[in-house]
Structure 1
Amino acid sequence: MRTASARVAIVTGGSRGIGRQAAERLVADGFAVVVNYAGNQIKADAAVATITEAGGRAIAICADVADETAVAALFDTTENAFGGVDVVVHAAGTMYLSPVAGLDLNAMDRMHRTNIRGTFVVNQQAARRLRGGGAIINFSSSVIGLALPGYAAYAAAKGAVEAMTLILARELRGRDITVNAVAPGPTATDLFLNGKDEETIAKMAAQPPLKRLGAPADIAEVVAFLAGPGHWVNGQVIRANGGIV
């Protein structure tokens, strides 16, 4: 029987935005959490401080999610600190927007390194090392269905994430480990808001029937559900977007 107090989660991209909110939400459910970050140690340390000051257990570990050696070390350090890994929330990602005709291929390669290779590397270690009863939670995007101009390279990367998610769920047959993806719609994070004017933001906020942008806390609740004791949702992409179709 799994107990929440003994469970351990790695949250990549856990220093800000949806990743940070997910980390804090999992701590509220009794998880010990590793906040993974790529470069901003100040934000990662702040996330850990918020958790520990509230009585939770957390540490910050720097690792490039696309570097297999760094990710293996991330799992090693987590196991040494907390005894094992039960849940991986892979929230790390980057976004570069451009029409196909004007796309900077170098920028696309950098984005795909993080979003595609990074997902594969993190999932590979998770598949090898998660304890029974665990969960792998990847991040896609509702933009795949919305087909918004300028998002082709980003949507292509998230399409790859969805394919990996569905296949890995089947490859882990018999392991009692679920693999799912969360696909947020427009969500008020720095990643989403950066570079958008107020008119664009207002237009996108009006799209869902709920007539607002998502909040990181909305997405964190979906993560907590997938990481929780219910263990029958598997091999799915959950479009957490307020009802956009």
Structure 2
Amino acid sequence: MPLRILLVEDEEDLAVATQAVLQREGHVVDRCSSGLEGWTLLSGELARYDLAILDWMLPDLSGVDLCRRARAAGMGLQVLLLTARAETADRVVGLDAGADDYLSKPFAMEELLARIRALQRRHPGYREPLLSAGGYRLDPRAGTLLVSTSTGEVSVDLSGKEQQLMAYFLEHPGQTIPGSRLRNELWDLHQDPVSNVVAAQVRLLRRKLAAYGLPSPIETVPSKGYRFAPLGGNET
């Protein structure tokens, strides 16, 4: 299931590589390089994060102190600490600060992804990765949307952003979702807030379905946003 992730890491090369790997997995990732900037993002009104990946040694505010501050504020997101500190006492400090897991540097990206999947499974709100509603089933692992039709099941290959968008609609069937909400949930905070990225992505998804001979289940609700309706809707 795609996550909204905050990555706070001041090693530029590692941060860029980690963000790229997470985004290829379909996650939405906001990245910064200092503890205070990380706190600003965590406590902001627009972003609601599922997971924070925090380097221990950060400028201004350490990852451990940032974790403590988040827990003191009642934030329920999961926290994964990254650090070169490998002593048992250090791990205890990090876990006592409220971290859910701890990964020592250097690490393999495969291990990072495995740790994130394990954290997802441990979360009370975890659900199996196959999402479904109204004859549409999304399998994030395979990157496909399975659509039941009168003549059988059609498998549609989706891009990472198309998967994120369809997953969000499948999680909120029948709800009218403002474009601003989709933008805040599925695009990073550096995206131009007045751009038409949501409308453009919805058009691309509709065209993808049309290429497979399928109607669009996404209705445009004038002046209000979009609604997932399996029987199809208007495409303005």
TM-score band by shorter chain is: 0.3 to 0.5
TM-score of the aligned structures, taking structure 2 as reference length? 0.38
Question: Which of the pair has the greater relative contact order for Cα pairs under 8 Å at 6+ separation?
Answer: 1
TM-score of the aligned structures, taking structure 1 as reference length? 0.37
Answer 1 or 2: which has greater helix percent: 1
